[in-house]
Structure formats: structure tokens, C-alpha cells
Amino acid sequence: MKKPESIGPYTLLSPLGDSVRNRTWLAASGPRQDQVVLKLAQKDNAHERARLLHELTVLAALDQENIVRLLDSGEWEGRMWMALTYIRGPSAPLQLANFRQLLLALVHVHAHGVVHADIKPANLLLDAQGDLHLAGFGNARRFGAGPLGPGGMPQYMSPEQLRGEALDVRADFFSAGAVLFQLLTGSRPFDGKAALRGKDDVEPGLPLPSALVPGLGTGFDGLTSKLLAPDRRDRHDSAFAVLGDFDVACHRGVRAAA
């Protein structure tokens, strides 16, 4: 039987996902074989090393309960690596409470001058208690910085991100709005329309969540419309502002319109 490969103090157990830039593994270490997520850059690949170092630098500055935690980093036989908390949560749908946790994570991320730039369901991990942890910081960038390269999922990206423009926090609010729309309605708002949002065309109008889900009520219509505004100037300018509108919408409740 082949001996499992080791990277520094970690034993590789099984690959996670299909990442191309950074190989991602489930790994274990220590006498208790504690499991972690280990991200690797290919040996002698300067581009991968730079991207991994970028993500590592971003995560090293963040410390909030709804963000995946950087545990360790180093280099082993020419391969750069970093270890992150492994979220063992159930494969369960997001709840409104999880969306609020996402907003709390964004308050912290934005306070450090960072745009996440890749908010999508795959990067919103739920632990065994059902709490959310924001992951996927490989495409994050400082306020005003241009794109780092290919990244993001078009159906969740803001028009300005699709056009390759410099980003600010309002790009994250657009992506969060797409997540909220999907949470409320069960469908993504821009399936089949992502390419249109990359052009200068007038964006096709979105139906309101209340129009798609009988009995949902209109409490979240205004919030999703503002988050998903094609022009960033029409969106919220801070995560605290989004939190305020979200809490008001939740207070109104999910009920049939009068």
C-alpha cells in the first residue's frame, strides 16, 4: 500500500474540489489527526505561488467567527501551502440567519479594505451547528484594485466586475443580493443573462421575489432590488446599511401581501 503523501506536518487524505490554481486537499495532522483544508501551489509555478501568497496575506489579517480561519502556512520541498479550518457541516440550504452572518463577515472584510469579489453559494460553508463561514478569498482584492485574473461565477458577479473595472464594496453587495434572491426564490436571478450584464445594454428587469413565490410577501422586494441595482451608485454603500435594511425586512416577516 502506497504511503500517504505528506506536506510539512500534514498528511494528504483526499482532494477537495477541482481547483486549478491551487491544489486543495483534506489533510490531517497531530496525534489526534485533526482535519484541515490544505491549499498548495504547484512547485516552481510562480503564478500559483503569487496567488496563494495573496490569499494567505488577506486571510492573515481577518479574524471573525463567520470567516474561515487561517491556521498555518509554510513551504515544503519547494511547494508553498496554507492550512485553513475544515468546515464539516451538513449539505443544507442557506437560511435567512446565514445571510445575516454573511453580512457580519462582510462588515469585517470591508473594514480591512478588502473586496471579497467571489461571493457565491459554494463559498458559503455551513458547519455542524448550521453557522456560516465565508471562504474563497483567492480572488479578493484591495479597494479600487483591478481584477487579479479569471475568477468569480458570472451569475453572481456585478456588472462592473464582468466589465473588468476596479471594484469597491458595492460589488460584494450585488453578489450577496444574488445569493439572497436565490435563497428566497430557489432560483438564481441571472441564469442565462450573465453576458448581457457585461455589456452597456440596458439590463433586463428582474421579477420581484414576491412575484415568483406566492405567500412570500413583499418585505424583501426593496432590499433585493437595491442590492441588485445595475448601477453601483444605486446600491448600499456599507454592510451596516445592508444589515439595517435586512433586519427591517426580517422584522416585517415572510407573509402574504395584504
The verdict on whether 118 is a catalytic residue reads yes
Residue 105 burial by CB count (10 A; 0-12/13-18/19+): exposed, middle or buried? Answer: buried
Residue 26: strand, helix, or coil: strand
Q: In whole angstroms, give the CA distance from residue 57 to residue 72.
A: 12
Rg of the chain's alpha carbons, rounded to an integer?
19
Backbone angles phi, psi at 66, to 5 degrees: -105, 20
* Other beta carbons less than 10 A from residue 30's beta carbon: 9
Catalytic residue among 118, 131, 231, 247: 118
C-beta separation of 187 from 175 below 8 A: no
Backbone angles phi, psi at 74, to 5 degrees: 175, -165
Q: How would you list the strands of the sheet with 70-76, edge to edge?
A: 6-7, 10-15, 23-29, 34-40, 79-85, 70-76
Catalytic residue positions?
118
